[in-house]
Structures are given as structure tokens and as C-alpha cells.
Amino acid sequence: MNDHAIRLSEMAGQGAATASVAATASLRQGVSDVLRLAAVGEREAALAALDALFGLRGRFHAYPLLLDMATGRQSWRQCGALWLEGATVLPSTMQANFDDAIALCRQFLGLPAPCILLQCRPETRDLHLTMESFPGLAVMRLSTLSPGYPDDMRAVQFHEVAHCFLTCGVRLLDEGLAHLFAARYAGATLPEADLALLPPVRALLSRSADNMFGESADSELRVYQSACRVGADLVAAIHAQGGAEHIVRLFAAVVRATSDAQIVRLVEQACGRQFPVPERRGGPSSAHSALIDSARQAVFTAWSNKQPADTDQAIAALDAEDIYGEPALLDSLLGTLINRALLQVNFAEAPGAAQLARLDQLLAAAADCLPQGRLWLWRGTRAILAILLARPNIIKVAAAGQQALECFGKAVQLIPDDPDLLVQHASLLLHAPAAYGGDRDLGVSKLRQAMRNPVYREHARQVLLEYGIETPAQEAAAPAPAALPSEAAAAQAPVMLEMRDVSLRLSSVFTLRPGPLAVRRGERVAFIGRNGSGKSMLMEALLGLRQPEQGNIALHLGDPRVPATRQRIGGLLQGYDMPGQTRVSEMMALHQAMYQRTAPEVTRALGLAELRDRYWQQLSRGQKQRLMLWMALAHVPELAILDEPSLGLDEWFARSLRELLASLPLTLLMISHAPADLQGMDRVCCMDDGRIVAEGRLDVLMAHRLGHYKGVLRQPLTDEALQALQALPGLVRAPAQREGGWELFGREGFDQDFRRYIDQQRITSFSLEPVSVEDFLADVTQAPAPDNQPVSPP
């Protein structure tokens, strides 16, 4: 990195820091107002100040606490530089330490002091706990029965105060600053780092590297202390380059960084050194390939015998190799260690803290060299392990379950047919309750799909047998099983709706000519496209509200203009309205009289009971949408046609609607641009200029249109760098210029080429991630659709 580039980066960091200080000044003042007014009993003014703070930041973790203070349910008082809970009397030594720490940290960093709310609890479990809501507000809890309270806590107090002042979300930097400050002003000491315990610094600088420190210092003290010492030395080097202002600028820039690689670049610039990039080779040698195959077989054997120790020899052999120099070896070691830990949870004792810390260390290191698909696979599997270890704590299980679903969802976009992914994802689907993403049929189908791979065939069959699913030997040996059960059933279902040669003219410049369309009973089909592409017009034609000038729409339920047929259909269109003085209960009674059936699960899911006594004109936009959805679905129609059903709903009711639609026995045609809605569809139809220009499974359409990866460069390029960018292998389309940078999409394997390009061209501001449904929707709705042939489902 040349001096000019460093100066530019520092100027950008200075701008970010200035913006950060300006943005947080009002937050600090807002917190101060709430605390000051609450302390003197001015309830209404304190609540108004809290509302203003909510408008600035939204709901945050300390919000309920401030609400209790503002309403008088919890008493607080200012004591020196702190706010204390209730009648707590802080020992004089501790009060002096806190006042010194806040004053010195304010002087050291050149930042305003935050509001620190201190809770003292008669506990021995935790020595201390600090939670930052945002820069300027922190809640600190001290356990008064812990050893050392209050006389031996000076270093701890200084450490925690530094956390309250400044945090960037990267554990290495946050802990490093806190330990540096505590060492400089409170006499704290850290032993020399044992670098053999830690991955490269690049991996430690990941936002996801938090767990390698352990949940507390006691879980793996040497790992925690070594990482903290590396962080403190790194922050000291940054301080030596430019003083505390340099640290503040770096932390402000890191908060806004969009990728771990960008964080590494920022830290390299700040400390004036470069961290080695793990060497990437052309692939494993024949000896390494044999070692990888042996490790995989050891995992199969261990699961068959239910003996975790069957993997130990393979782990030792992999550990003896240069795993950071060969990604395939690191991938194999990760998979073997995770499987061993899963075996322990299921059949032996739980893995120890050091074992889990090693796993998390390897996962963090893998972020720098493994293909993204495999990285998300192992992150998802690690989340499954967290689920098993967290039971019966429902909150922790739910959080780990959500993480597992997200990781596997990203992996499925990149490596959908990877046998390891199929087996591990099936495990989650088979174990999880339906409300948390469990799907036994889908899990079984993924295991059957894994059986297509001859290496995994017997292992997948054994897993199926353990779940009580008989698999005949001839099925296990079949090289290409039949279609998945759900797909086969859908293909055999009778056609409910057909459309051929339809033409419907709206104006002199627009004619609806969608092309052929057939929808089978039970199928769920979504329609997407730009505004004015004809989606709503098509739905109205399917409901019989518009008659085509040419062609034929065959609804096999009957003519939608006949009352008996309308009993079997439910519709939601845009632009609805009702008389303002009509009560919700009156509309519900009219619907019940017309349809003679009301499913209570629809009423519960949409929360209609709470709206019964209100007038239409009193309802909010979301409440009106819930009522109209109820009228479309309460009689459980055989065919539902819904135009933007999630529009106006908050996240809770949007999720409730998705779960309701998934549970009802209906055929669904839906216009929606909500990513979560599309992910539950059997088929997606893309419309443009009155035509269906592409249709198929969502994942197939995404791969066809955008590929598997999205790369973004956020800086201008030289002519040479631009030419190299345009020549990258695997590009789905030419790079597009976006707001001073570039956006590009690539096929499977593109991630490795992109990373090599970043290293060769010394790009400092970039991101690389799997293509998302949001990317696909933005591409479909914001740009003219390519004139391609429909994509058929495989």
C-alpha cells in the first residue's frame, strides 16, 4: 500500500469518525435527558425524552430499563460519573476507580464520556458483565459476592470502562483496546501470547471469531489470554503510528466495514504492517487426497459404530500437515472435528471447552481460504452442535437454530448437491420442530439425494435407517433415483388452471400476452416483475374480473362468475376499500353468511379477534390488510389469488401469514416481492411487458440470471484493473458501474478468482457474498428483463 493510498484511507477514516461522533452526540444527549429527568421524578418529560431516543435509534436492549426508570418503577441516582441502581452504596475505592477510569479514558481517546448504568447484584456467578446498547450507553453489572469485590477490581473496572467508551464489533480489537488501557493505567498484565494456540491474525480479525476466546476467561484461559495479548499488542502498534486519534478513526471505519477482508485491510493500514495471506495451491496432492478420503471413511465408521474415538487417528494425521497451506486439508480437518463433537454429544460425554475453542479457531481461519459454500456448510453444522449443547435452554436453542437455518440457506445457494451439505442439512430438518424450520419429508429427500453419490450411499442409507425409514438395497444402489416425493406428487396432480394464447389489451401501448401457463392442484406459484409489467392485470383475468379479447383461461373449478365457483376461490387485490362506518364484526358476519365456513386457525393467525369492535376507518394500513386477507382465506378456498399479501404487515404478522399459507390445503397464485414469501414457492414466474419471460424454481432462476456470487468493489479502478476485472472467468454478465464502484456476478467457483483479483490489484474496499433473493428481485424489478426462453424446472 503506497503512502498516497494510506493518506486517502486515513482521510476517509477521519470522515467516518467525524460522522460517527456527530451521529452519537445526539444519542448521548438523549440518554442523559432520560436519566436526568427520571432522577428528579419528571415522568412525562422523561417519557418524551425516551420517545425521542427511540426515534433516533429504535428499540435497543436497555430500552426496557430506561422505560422502568422514566415511569418510576425503577429508581436510579447519579453518583460521580456513574448512574447507580436503587439504594446501592458503592464502596469508596470502587467509586474512585470508576471516576478515574472514566476521566482517563475520556482524556486518552478524546471522546465524550458515555452514560454507564451500574447494577450491583448479590451473586457469585459472574464477576462482571457489560452490555453496550450503542456508543454512549452501557449497562454494567457487578457481582458483589465474587472474590475480590471490591478491593482487587481496579484492572477489571478500567477494562470494562474502555468497553463502554468504544466498541467496533471485532473481539480482537475491542479486547485489545480494553487490555491496553487497563495495562497502561491500572497495572493489569497479560502473559506472552502462545501463538501455537491461535490461527493467523487475519482469522482473528473476523467478526465471527468471537467464540475462539471462549464464553468467559475460565472456559479456555490460555486461548483467551493469548488472543487478548495479540489484540493489545496490535492496538499498541496502531497507537504508536498515530496516537489515540488513529485508534478512534480505525474503530469508526471498522464499524462500517462490509467484509472481514476489508477489516484486515483497514487494520494493516493503521498499524503499518501486512499480515501473511495463507498460500493457496492448485489442489491437494495425491497423498493429501488419500488422507482426506481416509478421514471421510473414519467419520463414516465412527457414526456406524457410535464411537467418537474412531476419528482420532485421522485427526492426528491431518494435524501433522500444513492445514493452513492447503484448503482441502483444513476443510477435511474441520469436518472431522465437527463430526467427532457431534458424536460425543449423541453417544458419549460433551466436548470440552478447549475442543470447542479449537473448532471455532479453525472456522475463523477457514474464512480466509475455503470456498464460501463449504464455509457456510461447516458454520451451519457448528450451529447444530450449539443447539445440542444448549438444550434445554429454549432461548439459546432457538437462537442457534436460526443461525443454522441461515447458514444452510446460504450454503444451499452455492453448493446445493454437496453430499456433506445434504447429510448435515437433513439432520437439522429431521430434528427441528416444524415451527423452527423442521421438515421431515424434505430431510428424507435430501438423504435420498445424498445416496446418489456412491461414496456417501451407505452412510446416508444408515442415517435413514436410524430414523426408521426403510431403504431397500436396490434403491441404495440405484445411480439416479426417481424424482423427490414432493416433486413427483406435484407432477401427477391434476391441472387446476390453464391459459393459452391469451391477449388482453389495456391501452394502445400495453397488451397482456403472458403465454402458456398451467397450474396444478396444490402448487404454489409466485409472479414478480417491474411495476406495469402486467402482474395485477393477469390476476384480475384469472379471477374472471377481466375477459381476454383472445385466447382461453380454463379454471377447472368452474366459471368464476358463478356463485358456486366463487365459494371455492379466495382473492386479494390492490386498491380495496370499505365503508368507513362499517365494523369489522359486521364484515366478518357477512362473510360467514356468504361462505358458511370460517377456519379458526385463519382468525388466530391474522389476529382478527382484537379488531372485531373497530370501524374500518379506525384501522391502520396493516390492520386493513389483515382483514382483507381474512376475507380471502377464512373459508379455506381451493384456489387463492393474492396480490402483495405481505404489503403493510409487520414482521410478526408477515411470518404468521407465511406459516398459515404453508399449512392450508390450497393452490396459491401470488404476486409478491418479499424474499421470505418467494422462498416458500414451488415456482416463480418473471413478467415483463405483459409476458412471462422466465419461470422455474427460485434457485434455478437465480443461478441462471445472476450466478452464485455477488462481488462489489467500492473504489475507482485504473484502466488496467478494469480490464482485468472484465476478463475474470465465470462472470455471468459484464461488470456494472454502481456509485463510484463496480458490481459483478459470477458462477460457482468465481469466489476464488475474485479473491485472487483482489490480492493482485490491492483492492481495499470490496465485498463478496452469495447471491441473495434480494439481489435477484432487484435485478428483475429494476432493469428490463432479458428476452430469454423460459427456464424449466429440472
Per-residue pLDDT tens for 501-551?
Answer: 888 887 767 888 888 889 998 899 999 998 888 888 888 888 888 888 888
Q: What is the pLDDT, as a whole number, of residue 214? A: 54
Give pLDDT, residue 4.
Answer: 35
- For 192-207, what is each residue's pLDDT tens digit? 888 877 778 887 887 7
pLDDT at residue 462 greater than cutoff 90: no
pLDDT tens profile 319-353: 888 777 778 888 899 999 999 998 888 887 888 88
User: pLDDT digits over 748-759, tens only?
Assistant: 878 878 878 887
Is the per-residue pLDDT at 483 higher than 60? Answer: no
Q: Beta strand 667-671 with 639-643: parallel, antiparallel or unpaired?
A: parallel
Residue 520: strand, helix, or coil: strand
Are both 260 and 305 inside the same structural domain?
no
Same domain, 336 and 472: yes
**Residue 213 identity:** F
Domain end residue (candidates: 275, 302, 322): 275
Q: What's the pLDDT tens digit per position in 768-792?
A: 788 888 889 988 887 554 443 333 3
Q: Is 150 among the domain residues?
A: no
pLDDT of 527: 94
Same domain for 307 and 239: no
Say whether both 458 and 418 belong to one domain.
yes
pLDDT of residue 39 exceeding 90, the answer is no
* Same domain, residue pair 657 and 519: yes
CATH number of the domain encompassing residue 408: 1.25.40
Residues 256 and 326 in one domain: no
R_g of the chain computed on alpha carbons: 30
At 408, the amino acid letter reads: F
Q: Is the pLDDT of residue 173 over 60?
A: yes
The pLDDT assigned to 125 comes to 60
| Mean pLDDT calculated for residue range 306-314 | 89
Whether residue 479 lies inside any domain: the answer is yes
Looking at 622, 639, 661, which one is the last position of a domain? 661
Is 247 found in the same domain as 174? yes
Is the confidence at residue 24, as pLDDT, over 60?
A: no
Does any domain span residue 131? no
Last residue of a domain, one of 275, 309, 326: 275
Q: Which is more confidently placed, 491 or 705? A: 705
pLDDT reported for residue 128 = 62
- Across 192-196, 543-547, 684-688, 740-744, the highest mean pLDDT is recorded for 684-688
Query: Is 90 exceeded by the pLDDT of residue 648?
Result: no
pLDDT confidence of residue 104:
93
On whether both 394 and 449 belong to a single domain, the answer is yes
CA nearest to 303, candidates 354, 341, 350, 270: 341
Distances from the Cα of 478 to the Cα of 297, 453, 459, 674, angstroms: 21, 10, 15, 39
pLDDT given for residue 208 in this prediction: 67
At residue 5, does pLDDT exceed 60?
Answer: no
Whether residue 20 has pLDDT greater than 60: no
Give the CATH number, domain containing residue 508.
3.40.50.300
Distance CA 536, CA 528 (A): 10
Output the pLDDT for position 477: 41
**What is the predicted pLDDT for the residue at 465?**
76
482 has a pLDDT exceeding 50: no
**What DSSP character marks residue 615?**
B
pTM across the whole model:
0.46
Q: How many domains does the chain have?
A: 4
Looking at the domain assignment, is residue 438 inside a domain? yes
Q: Is the peptide bond before 579 cis (omega within 30 degrees of 0)?
A: no
Which residue in 203, 221, 495 sits closest to 375, CA to CA? 203
Least confident range from 284-293, 440-449, 681-690: namely 440-449
- Which secondary-structure segment (H or E) carries 585? helix 584-595
Instruction: Pick the more confident residue, 221 or 456.
Output: 456
When mean pLDDT is compared across 242-251, 418-427, 429-438, the lowest value belongs to 429-438
Q: What is the pLDDT of residue 232?
A: 92
DSSP string, 174-233: HHHHHHHHHHHHH----PPP-GGGS--HHHHTSTT-GGGG-SSTTTSHHHHHHHHHHHHH
Whether the pLDDT of residue 50 is over 90: the answer is no
pLDDT of residue 15: 44
Full domain range(s) for residue 716: 708-770
* Contacts for 409 with CB less than 8 Å, ≥ 6 apart: none
399 and 363 within one domain: yes
Residue 640: per-residue pLDDT = 92
Do residue 649 and residue 747 come from a single domain? no
pLDDT of residue 144: 81
Q: Contact 735/743 with Cβ under 8 angstroms? A: yes
Q: Dihedrals φ, ψ of 319, to 5°?
A: -60, -25
Beta strands in 4-147 (DSSP E): 76-79, 82-85, 115-121, 128-134, 137-143
Q: And the C-alpha cell for 420?
A: 456433506
- Do residues 449 and 336 share a domain? yes
Say if residue 239 is in the same domain as residue 380. Answer: no
The pLDDT, as a whole number, for residue 427 is 81
- The strand pair at 569-572 and 495-507 is best described as unpaired
Q: What pLDDT sits at residue 564?
A: 81
- Rounded to whole angstroms, the Cα distance separating 668 from 546 reads 19
pLDDT of 479: 41
How far apart are alpha carbons 396 and 381 in whole angstroms? 16
Q: Is 626 helix (H, G, I), strand (E, B) or coil?
A: helix
**In contact, 492 and 651? CB cutoff 8 Å:** no
What is the pLDDT at residue 390? Answer: 81
Rounded distance, CA 484 to CA 482, Å?
6
299-330 burial: b if 16+ Cβ within 10 Å, else e: bbebbeeeebebbeebbebbeebebbebbbbb
Indicate whether 58 pLDDT > 90: no
Over residues 273-294, the pLDDT tens digits come to: 888 766 555 567 778 888 888 8
Instruction: Confirm whether 99 is domain-assigned.
Output: no
Residue 9 above 50 pLDDT?
Answer: no
Over pLDDT 70: what percentage of the chain? 86
Residue range 701-736, pLDDT digits in tens: 998 999 888 888 888 888 888 999 988 988 988 898
pLDDT category at 233 given cuts 50, 70, 90 is very high
Domain membership of residue 559 (yes or no) is yes
Residue 510 belongs to a domain: yes
Reported as a pLDDT band with limits 50, 70 and 90, residue 238 is very high
Domain CATH code at residue 716:
3.30.70.250
Q: Report if residue 782 sits inside a domain.
A: no
Average pLDDT over the chain, rounded to an integer? 80
